[in-house]
């Protein structure tokens, strides 16, 4: 049974560039006979059909401004569709903002009841949930204090707890997962997971693609200037990632042609670079199996990192190093020519040093690459943290950080079988 | 027909959200009185102080004043007017002030102006305590006519809420509604028989060659004149209100309320994006 049904829903926003915002302006406009209304229309959603089944967890992804929040607001009834019809069956709670309606002068307790009634609950329903809310937020000691003395983290915790204990049939969540400290975020995710398993219908807007893949079965991908797409979560997330990379590559190409430089790397990553500059990194390229420079590779494929350098002043002691971080900051791997005992010999003024990975064992995800030139004491000549971002793609849904070569087998352990390590991944 | 059934659906939903109305009223009152111990006292002292000023002006500075027990005479009218003024001002800002809520949470929007009117009404009821104390102090006996008070209050509530709904809507689109309202309210205060009895208005007055019955016109054109006079007649004079005008006013007020609700309902769907 579908609990949310959208038929042909479109939403148009109109920006009136010089619409009078006050009677004063209206009067001046009328007297001045200045009637050129310049208005700009844009469609955020166009002819969207969507059915969400009871108990389904639907992820909504897409670039900023693609209409994800607008869609949730339409379903919640906060704004009205320009055309089309939306039907919702069951009690709906929309978490578009945590702690909406909190008043700083009231105590935590009073705010819990106020917030509950804003979300449509009766006093009796709130009373029966009150203790659960307070203990989930871990605010027992402060609940009778005015909210103005709460830290922002405490307010957010209280806001989420109220929402989490609402027990609605349908829950709309818009990026509110990015709140609180890490421990609380985990708790929130666990709570949402619990919701999913207890048969609630959930619509989740998030930029945290890994969370979307974990929580959602199906994903709706909204994008400006292209029709909405629906499909299995993993497939849609990968398609979306591909799209983002293609867009970035296009932008890079445009920037490169605009600036006349060959390779201005990913602008989206915030970079830091330091060092004394005797020898500098002039370019870094990721080379795939086919020998082409890329910004993504398939999981399990070979990868070559080319570090192009330029010597400004000759120095006797140079170490080339790389490090790979996952997008959430996890340090996945790091090595350098000193650790690997590579003899570089005398360096030319301009040259290239390569690292070959027969198979980069990382699982699908977003990563960044650090590149460093330093001496053996750690004094940096040129240190890029990070140099660029890249992604690893895969259709395999394994989890963790890396994918060691492995295979599955049915039967007894073969004692003393020395050839076991042969992998078909 | 469809329009009317829509209004009924809206009204049913509003009833479902009565808990929220109650909580918002409580929030308003608590927030008003919590910050200062003098909060409640202050809201009682404020009209008393205004009363004192007008009494000084009208009895010492303009001494040929025929009205006996002028402070009570004034207070009977001043308190309902203060309620009217505060409620209208509050309503005007109610949607814009709660913009974050309106943009992020769904609930019937009329909850906001309604709770503003109601919390000001509670305030008004509290202030009536002072009025009754003054009546007692000036030895003005309460008569059975006091039982008309609920009808008069209901009339005023309907009129205030109706206007408030319209102003709340207007303010979303034109943000200087509040400023204009301030000026209008000031003029309205003097056009309404608050600091003077309605009987002093002339029944015949020639303005630009037109012979106008200002007394009757005031009654007809200004519902607040009828409402305020009714309070005064019932409390100060202890006489029955002029039923003819009172029921006309009640009818007008209910009409204004319906109109206000219809306008508000029509535009409230766009508040989420316009505010």
Helices (H) and strands (E) in chain A, counts: 8, 18
pLDDT tens for A66-79 read: 889 899 999 998 89
Contacts of B169 in chain A (CB under 8 A): none
Q: Is B5 at the interface with chain A, CB within 8 A?
A: no
Cα(B193)–Cα(B225) distance, integer angstroms: 6
> Quick check: A73 and B177 CB within 8 A?
no
Q: What's the rounded mean pLDDT across residues A39-48?
A: 85
Shortest distance, CA B18 to any CA of chain A (angstroms)? 9
> Quick check: A21 and B174 CB within 8 A?
yes
Q: So what's the ipTM on this one?
A: 0.77
Q: What's the rounded mean pLDDT across residues B24-52?
A: 80
pLDDT tens for B215-230 read: 888 888 899 999 999 9
Closest alpha carbon within chain A to B15? A120
> Of the candidates B107, B173, B272, which has its C-beta nearest A120's C-beta?
B107
Residue to substitute from A105, A125, A145, A146, interface B, most B β-carbons within 10 A: A105
Whether residue A414 lies inside any domain: the answer is no
**A225 shares a domain with A293:** no
pLDDT bracket for residue B118 (50, 70, 90): very high
Least confident residue range of A121-130, A265-274, B70-79: A265-274
Whether residue A348 lies inside any domain: the answer is yes
Least confident residue range of A60-69, A346-355, A405-414, B19-28: A405-414
> Quick check: A21 and B103 CB within 8 A?
no
**A278 shares a domain with A218:** no
Cα(A359)–Cα(A117) distance, integer angstroms: 57
Spacing of C-alpha B163 from chain mean position: 10
Q: What are the CA-CA distances from residue B242 to residues A388, B7, B150, B155 (Å)?
A: 84, 33, 15, 14
Closest alpha carbon within chain A to B173? A21
Contacts of B35 in chain A (CB under 8 A): 105
Contacts of B159 (CB under 8 A, 6+ apart): B223, B224, B227, B249, B252, B253, B256, B257
SS3 B82: helix
> Of the candidates A26, A94, A146, which has its C-beta nearest B105's C-beta?
A94
Least confident residue range of A279-288, A325-334, B32-41: B32-41
Q: What's the rounded mean pLDDT across residues A248-265?
A: 62
> Quick check: A80 and B269 CB within 8 A?
yes
pLDDT of residue A60: 93
Q: Would you say residue A272 has pLDDT above 90?
A: no
> Quick check: A77 and B106 CB within 8 A?
yes
Q: Would you say residue A150 has pLDDT above 80?
A: yes
**A188 shares a domain with A279:** no
Q: What's the rounded mean pLDDT across residues A318-339?
A: 90
> Of the candidates B20, B35, B180, which has its C-beta nearest A117's C-beta?
B20
SS3 A22: coil
CB-side neighbour CA atoms (13 Å) of A4: 25
pLDDT of residue B259: 95
Q: Is B2 at the interface with chain A, CB within 8 A?
A: no
> Quick check: A80 and B35 CB within 8 A?
no
> Of the candidates B16, B23, B31, which has its C-beta nearest A105's C-beta?
B31
- The structural domain count of chain A equals 2
Whether residue B8 lies inside any domain: the answer is no
Contacts of B175 in chain A (CB under 8 A): 21-22
**A277 shares a domain with A230:** no
Whether residue B2 lies inside any domain: the answer is no
Cα(A336)–Cα(B87) distance, integer angstroms: 73
Domain that holds residue A86: 2-9+46-239
Cα(A268)–Cα(B86) distance, integer angstroms: 52
Q: Is B20 at the interface with chain A, CB within 8 A?
A: yes
Name residue, tokens 């209304």.
Answer: A37
| Residue with more model confidence, A185 or A127 | A127
Q: Please, what is the average pLDDT of chain A?
A: 83
pLDDT of residue A376: 85
> Quick check: A23 and B24 CB within 8 A?
no
Q: Would you say residue B1 has pLDDT above 80?
A: no
Cα(A414)–Cα(A396) distance, integer angstroms: 28
Q: Would you say residue B207 has pLDDT above 80?
A: no
- Listing DSSP states for A213-253 in one string gives HHH-SEEEEEETTEEEEEEEHHHHHHHHHHHHHHHHHHHHH
Contacts of B31 in chain A (CB under 8 A): 103, 105-106
Token readout for A397 is 């849904």
Q: What's the rounded mean pLDDT across residues B260-264?
A: 94
- Beta carbons of A69 and A44 less than 8 angstroms apart: no
Whether residue A37 lies inside any domain: the answer is no
pLDDT of residue A81: 92
Of all residues in chain B, the percent with pLDDT exceeding 90 is: 49
Q: What's the rounded mean pLDDT across residues B21-29?
A: 88
- Beta carbons of A206 and A175 less than 8 angstroms apart: yes
Whether residue A87 lies inside any domain: the answer is yes
The alpha helices in A33-151, defined as continuous H runs, are 68-76, 108-118, 123-137
Closest alpha carbon within chain B to A100? B101
Residues forming a β-bridge with A57? A202
Contacts of A78 in chain B (CB under 8 A): 102-106, 272
Least confident residue range of A172-186, A250-264, B37-51, B194-208: A250-264
The alpha helices in chain B, defined as continuous H runs, are 2-16, 18-34, 39-55, 70-97, 99-104, 111-137, 149-173, 177-191, 214-221, 223-232, 243-268, 271-274
**A173 shares a domain with A100:** yes
Contacts of B30 in chain A (CB under 8 A): 105-106, 110
Residue to substitute from B32, B92, B104, B175, interface A, most A β-carbons within 10 A: B104
Token readout for B67 is 């009205």
Domain that holds residue B247: 17-274
- DSSP character at residue A147: G
pLDDT of residue A236: 86
Tell me if the pTM is above 0.90: no
pLDDT of residue A10: 92
Whether residue A23 lies inside any domain: the answer is no
**A295 shares a domain with A167:** no
A38: left (phi over 0), alpha (psi -120 to 50) or beta: beta
pLDDT bracket for residue B243 (50, 70, 90): confident
Closest alpha carbon within chain A to B24? A114
Token readout for B142 is 């309460």
**A372 shares a domain with A330:** yes
**A287 shares a domain with A215:** no
Residues forming a β-bridge with A9? A48
Chain A contacts to B (CB-CB under 8 A): 13, 20-24, 26, 73, 76-80, 94, 96-97, 100-101, 103, 105-106, 110, 113-114, 117-123, 146
For helices B243-268 and B149-173, the axis angle rounded to 10 degrees is 30
- The structural domain count of chain B equals 1
Token readout for B37 is 């111990």
Contacts of A119 in chain B (CB under 8 A): 105
pLDDT tens for A350-376 read: 889 999 999 888 998 889 899 999 988
| Residue of A388, A390, A384, A276 whose CA lies nearest to A320 | A384
- CATH number of the domain within which A288 lies: 2.70.50.60
- Listing DSSP states for A78-94 in one string gives SS--SEEEEEE-S-EEE
Shortest distance, CA B176 to any CA of chain A (angstroms)? 5
> Quick check: A79 and B269 CB within 8 A?
yes
Residue to substitute from B14, B19, B273, interface A, most A β-carbons within 10 A: B19
**A212 shares a domain with A283:** no
Whether residue A277 lies inside any domain: the answer is yes
> Quick check: B105 and A20 CB within 8 A?
no
- Listing DSSP states for B95-110 in one string gives HHHTHHHHHH--S-TT
Q: What's the rounded mean pLDDT across residues A232-256?
A: 78
- Listing DSSP states for A171-209 in one string gives EEEESTTS-S-HHHHHHHHHHHHHHHHTT-EEEEE-S-H
pLDDT of residue A266: 42
pLDDT of residue A224: 83
pLDDT tens for B245-255 read: 888 999 999 99
Q: Please, what is the average pLDDT of chain B?
A: 88
- CATH number of the domain within which A90 lies: 3.40.50.300
- Listing DSSP states for A256-302 in one string gives HHHHT-S----TTS--EEE---SEEEEEEEEE-TTS-B-SEEETT--
With residue A372 as reference, give the H or E element that holds it. strand A365-374
Cα(B183)–Cα(A198) distance, integer angstroms: 58
Name residue, tokens 């303005």.
Answer: B207
pLDDT of residue A264: 40
| Residue with more model confidence, A164 or B148 | B148
Closest alpha carbon within chain B to A21? B174
Cα(A359)–Cα(A299) distance, integer angstroms: 8
| Residue of A136, A147, A198 whose CA lies nearest to A169 | A198
- Beta carbons of B25 and B122 less than 8 angstroms apart: yes
Cα(A68)–Cα(A58) distance, integer angstroms: 12
Closest alpha carbon within chain B to A26? B174
> Quick check: B105 and A77 CB within 8 A?
no
Q: Would you say residue A33 has pLDDT above 70?
A: no
Residues forming a β-bridge with A372? A321, A383
Whether residue A193 lies inside any domain: the answer is yes
Contacts of A328 (CB under 8 A, 6+ apart): none
Q: Would you say residue A308 has pLDDT above 70?
A: yes
- DSSP character at residue B143: -
pLDDT of residue A415: 59
Name residue, tokens 């890079």.
Answer: A252
Least confident residue range of A31-35, A46-50, A207-211, B229-233: A31-35
| Residue of A416, A425, A424 whose CA lies nearest to A362 | A425
Whether residue A247 lies inside any domain: the answer is no
The CA angle A258-A65-A395, to the nearest 5 degrees, is 85
């Amino acid at each position: 049974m579908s609990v949310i049904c959208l038929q042909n829903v479109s939403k148009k926003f109109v920006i009136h560039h010089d619409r009078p915002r006050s009677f004063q302006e209206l009067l001046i406009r009328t007297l001045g006979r200045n009637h050129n209304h310049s208005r700009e229309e844009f469609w955020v959603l166009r002819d969207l059909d969507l059915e969400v089944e009871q108990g389904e967890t639907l992820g909504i992804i897409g670039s900023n401004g693609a209409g994800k929040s607008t869609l949730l607001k339409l379903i919640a009834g906060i704004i009205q569709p320009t055309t089309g019809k939306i039907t919702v069956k069951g009690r709906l709670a929309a978490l578009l903002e945590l702690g909406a309606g909190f008043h700083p002068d009231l105590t935590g307790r009073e705010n819990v009841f106020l917030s509950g009634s804003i979300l449509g609950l009766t006093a009796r329903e709130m009373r029966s949930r009150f203790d659960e809310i307070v203990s989930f937020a871990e605010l027992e000691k402060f609940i009778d204090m005015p909210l103005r003395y709460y830290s922002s983290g405490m307010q957010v915790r209280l806001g989420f707890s109220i929402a989490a204990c609402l027990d609605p049939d349908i829950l709309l969540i818009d990026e509110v997962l990015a709140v609180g400290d890490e421990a609380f975020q985990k708790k929130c995710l666990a709570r949402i997971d619990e919701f999913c398993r207890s048969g609630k219908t959930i619509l989740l807007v998030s930029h945290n693609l890994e969370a979307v893949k974990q929580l959602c079965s199906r994903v709706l991908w909204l994008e400006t200037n292209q029709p909405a797409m629906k499909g299995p979560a993993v497939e849609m997330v990968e398609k979306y990632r591909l799209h983002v990379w293609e867009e970035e590559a296009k932008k890079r190409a445009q920037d490169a042609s605009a600036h006349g430089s060959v390779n201005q790397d990913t602008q989206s990553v915030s970079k830091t670079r330091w060092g004394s500059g005797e020898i500098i990194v002039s370019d870094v390229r990721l080379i795939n199996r086919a020998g082409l420079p890329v910004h993504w590779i398939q999981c399990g494929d070979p990868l070559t990192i080319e570090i192009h350098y330029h010597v400004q002043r000759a120095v006797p002691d140079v170490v080339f190093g790389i490090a790979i971080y996952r997008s959430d900051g996890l340090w996945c791997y790091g090595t350098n020519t000193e650790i690997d005992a590579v003899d570089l010999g005398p360096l030319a003024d301009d040259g290239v040093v390569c690292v070959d990975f027969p198979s980069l064992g990382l699982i699908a995800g977003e990563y960044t690459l650090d590149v460093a030139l330093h001496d053996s004491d750690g004094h940096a000549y040129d240190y890029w943290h990070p140099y660029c971002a890249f992604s690893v793609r895969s259709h395999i849904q394994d989890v963790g950080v890396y994918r060691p070569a492995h295979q599955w087998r049915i039967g007894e352990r073969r004692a003393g079988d020395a050839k076991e390590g042969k992998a078909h991944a | 027909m469809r329009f009317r059934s829509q209004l009924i659906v809206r009204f049913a939903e509003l009833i479902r959200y009565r808990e929220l109305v109650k909580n918002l009223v409580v929030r308003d009152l608590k927030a008003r009185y919590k910050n200062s111990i003098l909060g409640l006292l202050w809201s009682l002292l404020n009209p008393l102080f205004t009363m004192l000023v007008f009494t000084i002006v009208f009895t010492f500075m303009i001494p040929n004043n025929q009205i006996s027990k002028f402070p009570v005479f004034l207070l009977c009218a001043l308190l309902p007017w203060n309620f009217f003024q505060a409620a209208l001002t509050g309503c005007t800002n109610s949607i814009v002030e709660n913009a974050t809520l309106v943009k992020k949470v769904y609930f019937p929007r009329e909850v906001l102006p309604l709770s503003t009117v109601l919390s000001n009404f509670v305030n008004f009821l509290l202030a009536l305590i002072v009025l009754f104390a003054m009546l007692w102090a000036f030895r003005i006996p309460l008569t059975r006519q006091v039982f008309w008070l609920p009808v008069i209050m209901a009339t005023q509530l309907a009129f205030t809420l109706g206007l408030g709904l319209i102003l709340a809507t207007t303010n979303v689109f034109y943000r200087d509604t509040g400023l204009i309202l301030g000026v209008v309210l000031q003029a309205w205060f003097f056009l309404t028989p608050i600091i003077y009895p309605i009987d002093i208005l002339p029944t015949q007055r020639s303005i630009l060659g037109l012979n106008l019955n200002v007394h009757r016109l005031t009654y007809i054109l200004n519902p607040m004149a009828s409402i305020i006079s009714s309070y005064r007649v019932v409390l100060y004079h202890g006489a029955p209100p002029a039923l003819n005008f009172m029921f006309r006013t009640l009818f007008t007020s209910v009409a204004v309320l319906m109109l206000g609700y219809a306008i508000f309902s029509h535009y409230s769907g766009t508040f989420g994006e316009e505010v």
